[in-house]
Amino acid sequence: MSKDHLRDIQSEPDYRKIPINKVGVKDITYPVVMLDRNRGKQHTVANVNMYVNLPHHFRGTHMSRFIEILNRHRDGIDTRKVKKILEDMKSELDAETAHFEIEFPFFMTKAAPVSGEEALMDYRCRLAASSDENFYEVEVNVPVLSLCPCSKEISSYGAHNQRSIMKIQVRAGYSRIVWIEDVIRVAESSGSSEIYSLLKREDEKYITEKSYENPVFVEDIVRNATELMMKIDGVLWFSVESENMESIHNHSAYAQICMDLK
């Protein structure tokens, strides 16, 4: 049977007069190549969502075209290329607005602080953009170590500490590149100590002592990061969160600061 004989219901009119904000494909697992500042590019695996708006007079969109567009662009994605992806989505899906969201582990080589031994650290990142906004949004999730100032102060020795997950979201205009690497740096400078994949004993001693000398509440972490974020050029808006997976509790301590710099 030929394709031409198959009725295209999606293109038929709809009579309810209700436009749809977003319609498309969600939760696609796809291998992609992300462009990065240090290594040029890196292979990773992404989870992708792609949506367009749908005017009130159309019944449906054409889902397979999203996958074709992703297929074409998967070998080089960064904040600048996202604009081209949004344009392709608009023109090939006949839409007024397009939305693109991609989540992926981003890897950086990191040297241990004393031994200098290198290994890869993973940071869960997200890049999102809409054709009807003049900014894109970058999100990084960064694990750090936090040591409690109260516990240190009131105890004769020791202090409880734990892994904290910092989430920083940034909006920036397309004329400026906000580097993932710079935002990760902000997060790793805001806790009691940064953390690593590979540590030797001399590194462990260094981190233990550094964090004891530098205790932070969850409130301090987000304030520290806020001070640093305010110095990055081109940031229009940011949100800084920290979730401390408390070692003395079975729940998290949490704080958030949100700032509009426009």
* Residues in region 108-137 near a second copy by CB under 8 A: 115, 117, 119-122
Q: Is 185 in the site for a second copy (CB under 8 A)?
A: no
23 lies in the binding site for a second copy (CB under 8 A): yes
Which one of 24-32, 87-95, 126-134, 173-181 is the stretch in contact with a second copy (CB under 8 A)? 24-32
Q: H or E segment at 153?
A: helix 149-154
- Tell me the two tokens of residue 106: 């981003």
Contacts of 34 (CB under 8 A, 6+ apart): 41, 42, 44, 77, 78, 104, 106
Q: Closer to a second copy at the Cβ: 140 or 253?
A: 253
Query: Do 83 and 101 contact (CB within 8 A), yes or no?
Result: no
Segment interacting with a second copy, rule: CB under 8 A, options 23-31, 81-89, 131-139, 170-178:
23-31
Nearer to a second copy, 78 or 176 (CB): 78
Long-range interactions of 14-22: CB distance < 8 A, separation 24+: 14/56, 14/57, 14/58, 14/59, 16/56, 17/56, 18/56, 19/53, 19/54, 19/55, 19/56, 20/53, 20/54, 21/53, 22/51, 22/52, 22/53, 22/99
- 204 is a site residue for a second copy (CB under 8 A): yes
| Site for a second copy, residues 219 to 238, rule: CB under 8 A | 219-220, 222-223, 226-227
103 interacts with a second copy by CB under 8 A:
no
End-to-end CA distance of the chain: 57
User: Closest separation between CB of residue 175 and a second copy, Å?
Assistant: 28
Q: Least distance from C-beta 38 to a second copy, angstroms?
A: 14
Tokens of 108: 């950086």
Minimum distance of a second copy from residue 12's CB (angstroms) = 10
Residue 192: both structure tokens together: 């009691």
Site string for a second copy, 133-172 (x = CB under 8 A): ----------x-x-xxxxx-xxxxxxxxxxx---------
218 touching a second copy, by CB under 8 A: yes
Residues between 29 and 58 with contacts to a second copy, criterion CB under 8 A = 29-31, 42-45, 49, 51, 54
Tokens 């969160």 -> residue: 241
